Amino acid sequence: GSVIISLMPALAAAVYFFGWDAVRLTAACVAACVASEAITRKLMKRDIGITDLSAVVTGILLAFNLPPSLPTWMAVTGSVFAVVIAKQVFGGLGYNPFNPALAGRVFLLISFPVAMTTWTRWRIPAPRGVDAVTTATPLGLLKTSLSTGGTVPFAFDGTTAWQFFLGAKNGCIGEVSGLAILIGGAFLLWRRCISWHTPGFFLGAMALFAWILRMVDPATNLPPLFHILTGGALLGAFFMATDMVTTPVTRSGMAIFGAGCGILTMIIRKWGGYPEGVSFSILIMNALTPLINRATRPRVFGHVRRKPAGQEQMTDGGRK
């Protein structure tokens, strides 16, 4: 319940900026996720189990990762994939190795690349220097300019940063307002539903990486704040990289996981084929979670390890 409550500010911002499309996509994803979970579990002769609300959370998070103009049937398709393939096939809640919402997003991005990268203009004036006619995201504009040998295509100053923080930019419906996401993230921290280690190291690693790039070549690299305020960085850091099922359980493991996500996100943004790398980075680190858990497992002191039966020492005149 706390996670759903924490998502309400971002949902309200999505409705404010994108209107009916935000309501349509969120309702479609939630309904499809809940129905898919109930039907799949019934076919597998398991308890329906939808009262844990995990399917609702998956639906909201998937909707938050979709462009506002995406057709409803595509959103439903991604929802079915997220629940059936990325979750129930592995055994359901607690057994899925990958974040279902992100798996659904990546499935849609690969299956319908044009629809998943077509952006609807927000309903408030554009920041200075950002071309609203193209209806591209800031990261998309940056990637397009740099791929053709250009430089940073727009000015990023204090005014633009503030507008980006409030939500004046194109993007997926749940990621545009940094303010709304931080309100929800602060609520989760206050309720102790998440630890600060994952989002802190996620955003910290991104900022450090972006700062180094900026120092090396300021003509083609924007400041760290730009990368934190654009794309799905804040949404991913607070709401998807903190999923208890698919992320490490120790604090040191959370720090490693978060830092890995931040570094991979920046590598993909800088040199990858897609403008955004948050979804891919979290899924890659999901795959490394068992290894991280093993490497950061606390040592147990004062426990005597029993030797295997075949390796016991012969004592007392040959008797074991």
Q: Where are the domains of the chain?
A: 1-116, 138-296
Sign of the dihedral defined by the CA atoms of residues 311, 316, 317, 320, in that order = negative
Cβ-contact 45, 216 below 8 angstroms: no
pLDDT of residue 187: 96
Cβ-contact 27, 62 below 8 angstroms: no
pLDDT tens per residue across span 93-115: 888 999 999 999 999 999 999 99
Per DSSP, what are the bridge partners of residue 319? 315
pLDDT tens per residue across span 171-185: 899 998 999 999 999
Please report which helix (H) or strand (E) contains residue 7, including its range: helix 2-18
Q: Which residue has the tokens 């794309």?
A: 231
In this predicted structure, the answer to whether residue 135 has a pLDDT above a threshold of 90 is no
SS3 label, residue 44:
coil
- Tokens for 236? 């991913």
Phi-psi region of 162 (alpha: psi -120 to 50; beta: other; left: phi over 0): alpha
Cβ-contact 83, 58 below 8 angstroms: yes
Distances from the Cα of 110 to the Cα of 119, 141, 145, 280, 281, angstroms: 17, 20, 23, 12, 16
Query: What's the average model confidence in pLDDT over 271-279?
Result: 89
pLDDT tens per residue across span 136-170: 788 887 888 777 776 776 667 777 888 888 888 88
Answer yes or no: pTM beyond 0.85. Answer: yes
pLDDT tens per residue across span 9-65: 999 999 999 889 999 999 999 999 999 999 998 888 777 666 778 899 999 999 999
How confident is residue 133, by pLDDT bands cut at 50, 70 and 90? very low
DSSP state string for 107-133 = HHHHH-TTGGG--PPPSSPPPTT--TT
121 by Cβ neighbours in 10 Å (0-12 / 13-18 / 19+) ranks as middle
- Tokens for 231? 């794309």
pLDDT of residue 319: 46
| CA dihedral of 41, 42, 44, 49, whole degrees rounded to 10 | 30
Cβ-contact 232, 259 below 8 angstroms: no
**Residue 242: which of 176, 191, 171 has the closest Cα?**
191
SS (H, E, C) 259-284: HHHHHHHHHHHHHCCCCCCHHHHHHH
In this predicted structure, the answer to whether residue 129 has a pLDDT above a threshold of 80 is no
Q: Which has more pLDDT, 123 or 72?
A: 72
CA distance 278 to 289: 16
What ranges in 65-196 are assigned the alpha helix state H?
Answer: 72-80, 100-111, 138-147, 158-166, 178-190
CA distance 294 to 317: 41
